[in-house]
Amino acid sequence: MTHSSEIAFCDSEVAFCGTNVIVVTSTVPVRATSRREKVSRWATALGITRLVEWLARRPALLVINYHRVGDPTADGYDSALVEATGDEFDAQVAVLKRRFPIVELPEVQEMVARRIEVRHPCVLLTFDDGYRDNHDVALPILRAHGVRAAFFLTTKLVGSARIAWWDQVAFMLRRTRRTTIQLEYPQLARWDLSEAPLERVIQEALRLCKKQEPVDLDRFVAGVELACDVARPNEGARMFMSWDEARALVAAGMGIGSHTHGHEFLARLSPEAQRDECGRSRDIIRENLGITVDALSYPFGSRASFSDVTYRCLEQTGYRTAFSYYGGINVPPVAERFNVERFNLDRSPLSHYRLRVGLAIATGRPIW
Ligand SMILES: [Zn+2]
């Protein structure tokens, strides 16, 4: 989870009170995405999407990041991480493949290391966290299209039946019978579930833990447990891929990278702990897959989630490239090697997806 995947809740009202933030429920129940979808439908009907796609010729490296592909309602966890159903992903890959060269992780690493300027738009597809559906749903689609993506594994989660903290939080909020949820930690926050859309509440609650300040995640999850009066699910049906499944990705020619060992907010850690997170995941992948990875994607991926200290730790532990996730595209000269920018396209109809990809290239920045 990088959780910079933003569902655009433009109507969210947030009141700042000193250092504390009280999240006030919005009275506007309409999701901004529905407005964006309407705009994209009109854009398609009026031929604007085709025009934007025709104009989208600026040299750029687009790295589009996914977390999960499948049925967003299937397991009741953090559905915002499901960026596409299988059918939607299939259509997205088909559109991208028809319009752009889809490059592979080693090509991008070479491009960045040798500062090779791209002369046309090209796309790399990446997946963070190592969810099982990456193997079960995304891999067959990628193989059918002859496309190779890159998968960044959180080694502590590979093969485990653990439920990640962000999925635990979503699970409890979905099942609570309480109408008011109040959290005291890491800051005061309150939602009225009779008014606020649940998906928004889940994302706002998760966002409380994505800041630079250290957060005791166990204390935060315990607070959600208490506020919801729902026990946290510690284990369940396996959600993350096994090492055998990761080996199948390697056998299919997919790129593999590290998403650290414990999915930590690296910049909050001491240099020693950062080195351990980066080095340990690399060692574990080598032991289990017999390959040496030298690319990493930062958990959370915001600008605050890594620093110059992180860069040194990456160098010391053998990495060549690292990917951020705060919503950028790479225009020549191609990015810093430890900050190749990625962005996310949250779940939307194909017309909207096409429009956003076209606009990102035409303008040099992701526009939602
Ligand atoms: Zn992640």
Biggest CA–CA distance in the chain, Å, is 56
345 CA from centroid of ligand 1 (Å): 15
Q: Tell me the pLDDT of the chain (368 aa) as tens digits.
A: 654 433 332 223 333 223 344 343 333 333 445 777 788 788 888 888 888 888 888 899 999 999 999 999 888 899 999 999 999 999 999 999 999 999 999 999 999 999 888 889 999 999 999 999 999 999 999 999 999 999 999 999 999 999 999 999 999 999 999 999 999 999 999 999 999 999 999 999 999 998 778 899 999 999 999 999 999 998 888 999 999 999 999 999 999 999 999 999 999 999 999 999 999 999 999 999 999 999 999 999 999 999 999 999 999 999 999 999 998 999 876 678 999 999 999 898 999 999 999 999 888 887 76
How buried is 69 (Cβ within 10 angstroms: 0-12 exposed, 13-18 middle, 19+ buried)?
buried
237 CA from centroid of ligand 1 (Å): 19
Two tokens, residue 350: 């194909």
Decide: 112 and 61 in contact? Cβ < 8 Å: no
2 CA from centroid of ligand 1 (Å): 4
263 CA from centroid of ligand 1 (Å): 6
Pairing type for strands 13-17 and 20-24 reads antiparallel
162 CA from centroid of ligand 1 (Å): 15
151 CA from centroid of ligand 1 (Å): 11
The answer to whether the peptide bond before residue 197 is cis (omega within 30 degrees of 0) is: no
274 CA from centroid of ligand 1 (Å): 16
Give me the numbers of helices (H) and strands (E) for the chain, helices first please.
13, 12
How buried is 155 (Cβ within 10 angstroms: 0-12 exposed, 13-18 middle, 19+ buried)?
buried
1 CA from centroid of ligand 1 (Å): 3
**β-sheet bridge partners, residue 240:** 131
| Angle 94-3-13 from CA coordinates, rounded to 5° | 115
Q: Which residue is it, tokens 């035409």?
A: 362
Q: Which residue is it, tokens 């590290």?
A: 258
The answer to whether the peptide bond before residue 333 is cis (omega within 30 degrees of 0) is: yes
Query: Is the pTM value of this prediction over 0.75?
Result: yes
**β-sheet bridge partners, residue 124:** 63
297 CA from centroid of ligand 1 (Å): 8
147 CA from centroid of ligand 1 (Å): 22
C-alpha distances out from residue 1 to 186, 270, 329, Å = 19, 22, 19
317 CA from centroid of ligand 1 (Å): 20
Q: Ligand 1 (ion): which residues have CB within 5 A?
A: 1-2, 128-129, 299
Two tokens, residue 346: 């949250």
